[in-house]
Amino acid sequence: MPPRPSLRLLLPAALLLCMVACSPPQLPFARLAGLVSNRQLDEISGLAASHAHEDVLWAHNDSGNPARLYAISLRGRLLARFDVVGAKNIDWEDLASFTLDGRHYLLLADTGDNAGRRGDFVLHVFEEPAALVDGTLKPAWSIRARWPDGPRDCEAVAVDASAGQVLLISKKRVPPELFSLPLADPHGAIREARRVGRLEGVPQVGAELKRKDPQLASLFSQVTAADISPDRHTLAVLTYGSVLFYRRNDGERWPEAVARAPEAHDVPPIPQAEALAWSAGGAGLYASGEFSPAPIFYLVPQQ
């Protein structure tokens, strides 16, 4: 969702900095990979790597935009757009790609709730189209759900297809809460998300920024996106201020993995960073945000 005015004022400066700087960002794991300049994609809030098409990313806009999914190149060029039939863009906030029974899917999270008023939310699952030509998409199935103890805002969703599990992370709670839902088609039943843990070690804003800009400081640690690596060993989490990597040992569950301090980096200079996706091969991640033109950064975590 759109940030408060103080953050908006910083976005053009941040974008200009990342485009004209003489040296790479002070982040050993980040490089600028592309730029999304097509005005149809001016509020990217979800990103996922295609498993059906090489070097392709899927993206969508935030609420207030048409119900569409977009295929883009790794450099940000628009390749195709698909109008979604049977699903409204109430508040689309994240996108995940996964493979199940030999088929490639996208899970779209209509989970945003900035005002904390939604009684339930929905996850839509689409089979990836075979051809990248403009067309329409209809959900293969949808998962309707509610939170166990009342509404909350959620912008980060990830899929562990081998475990048949969807992970959801609350945005504004401190520490962020981790929830789980079954990935299977519920045949119309409304499910209740199950709280399974909390994320430890999410960096918090310093005292100086709290003093200088309390509104900006209040956004710093809010979780805006998440994705699970293809090898299922790492959960990557994005906030407005940080990129976090939670490692999972063999035989360990995700609640145990997020209970330990993550590998943490400052977020690259992405205006309103709200989109994160592992590459199809799992070597690194792509990250972008709600701005136009929107930079695409490629991130390589420590091994």
Q: Where are the domains of the chain?
A: 5-20+39-296
The better pLDDT of the pair 123, 211 is held by 123
Q: Would you give the distance in Å from CA 172 to the centre of its chain?
A: 15
Task: Note the pLDDT of residue 12.
Answer: 42
Q: Which residues contact 263 (CB under 8 A, 6 or more apart)?
A: 244, 245, 247, 301, 302
Whether residue 80 is predicted with pLDDT greater than 90 in this model: the reply is yes
Question: Residue 14: what are its φ and ψ, rounded to 5°?
Answer: -65, -40
For residues 92 and 62, is the Cβ–Cβ distance under 8 A? yes
Which residues on adjacent β-strands are paired with residue 47? 59
* Residue recorded with tokens 């090898």: 231
Region of 42 (left: φ > 0; alpha: ψ -120 to 50; beta: rest) is: alpha
Is the preceding omega at residue 175 within 30 degrees of 0, hence cis?
yes
Q: What is the mean pLDDT of residues 61-65?
A: 88
Nearest to 266 by CA among 233, 214, 209, 221: 221
Kindly report the length of the chain.
Answer: 303
Whether residue 107 is predicted with pLDDT greater than 80 in this model: the reply is yes
Please report the sign of the dihedral spanned by the C-alpha atoms of residue 293, residue 203, residue 176, residue 200.
positive
**Distance in angstroms (rounded) separating the CA atoms of residues 157 and 46:** 10
**Distance in angstroms (rounded) separating the CA atoms of residues 58 and 82:** 10
pLDDT 10s digits, 162-176: 999 999 999 999 999
Write the DSSP string, 209-249.
Answer: HHHH-HHHHHHTT-EEEEEE-TTSSEEEEEESSEEEEEE--
Whether residue 209 is predicted with pLDDT greater than 50 in this model: the reply is yes
Q: What is the mean pLDDT of residues 22-27?
A: 41
Amino acid present at 179: F
Whether residue 29 is predicted with pLDDT greater than 90 in this model: the reply is no
**Distance in angstroms (rounded) separating the CA atoms of residues 19 and 243:** 20
Task: Note the pLDDT of residue 21.
Answer: 36
**Distance in angstroms (rounded) separating the CA atoms of residues 35 and 244:** 23
Is the preceding omega at residue 293 within 30 degrees of 0, hence cis?
yes
Question: Residue 9: what are its φ and ψ, rounded to 5°?
Answer: -65, -25
Write the DSSP string, 10-59.
Answer: HHHHHHHHHHH-SS--S-TTEEEEEEE--TT-SSEEEEEE-SSSTTEEEE
Name the percent of the chain lying above pLDDT 70.
90
* CATH fold of 5-20+39-296: Neuraminidase (2.120.10)
